[in-house]
Amino acid sequence: GSFLSRSFLTRYGGMLQGCILCGTMGKNPALGLGKALAGLQKKVLGPRSRGKLIDKLAFGSYNKRIENPVNQFAWLSTVEQVCREYAADEFCGFEFTAAGYYDLFSGLQEVNSPKWAQEVPKNLPVFLLAGDADPVGNYGKGPTEVAEALKAAGCGDVSLKLYPGKRHELLNESNRQEVYADVLRWLEKKLESGT
């Protein structure tokens, strides 16, 4: 979701009055390799073939810092029931197709390119939230990198909050009430100031 939002910002950000990005990532030097692999699989096995190897390469290490993970989706939340429900949901956790991975990696290259932050409207308030135990954001480094890129590009209202020990799905974390309160506080502040 944050990747699509970041792409949207460069195209239509002028229509917005603010943006909240939750659990985003920064630069990943392996994106080019992932895209090439997905492109090769598209050609050899077809665009709708399931990317089992790509999935393993992309997500296989996400649980490496978790002691006794409840399942392969433990990286999503410290709440084990959330991870179990995710695994049980037929609409979650499936492997993308080769074309799906190709498009994902292409989009990630776009939003992590040096010019991305330059194309975000400079007066747009942006609030980045992430868990510092989220492997998607490289344990807090990615969202920090995105916030710094926006500031360096001249965006004047950029906020970042990292939640200690929390993982990717902040709205499904053990401290979700704190996250909701932080989002509400940010929104109210922006409404009061008229930005």
The full set of domain ranges for the chain reads 1-27+116-195, 28-111
Q: What does the pLDDT profile of the chain (195 residues) look like in tens digits?
A: 999 999 999 999 999 999 999 999 999 999 999 999 999 999 999 999 999 999 999 999 999 999 999 999 999 999 999 999 999 999 999 999 999 999 999 999 999 998 999 999 999 999 999 999 999 999 999 999 999 999 999 999 999 999 999 999 999 999 999 999 999 999 999 988 776
Planar angle of CA 32, 47, 84, nearest 5 degrees: 80
Is there a contact between 26 and 143 (Cβ–Cβ < 8 Å)? yes
Which positions ≥6 away from 27 have C-beta within 8 Å? 112, 142, 145
Q: How many CA atoms lie within 13 A of 132 on its CB side?
A: 7
Number of neighbouring beta carbons within 10 Å of residue 107: 15
The CA-atom distances, in angstroms, between 68 and each of 57, 74, 80 are 21, 9, 11
Euclidean distance between CA atoms 120 and 101, whole angstroms: 25
**Residue 2, helix vs strand vs coil:** helix
pLDDT for position 98 = 97
Q: Which CATH superfamily is domain 1-27+116-195 in?
A: Alpha/Beta hydrolase fold, catalytic domain (3.40.50.1820)
The CA-atom distances, in angstroms, between 3 and each of 6, 20, 38, 58, 193 are 5, 12, 18, 15, 28
DSSP 97: B
Considering only CA atoms, which of 81, 62, 68 is closest in space to residue 139? 62
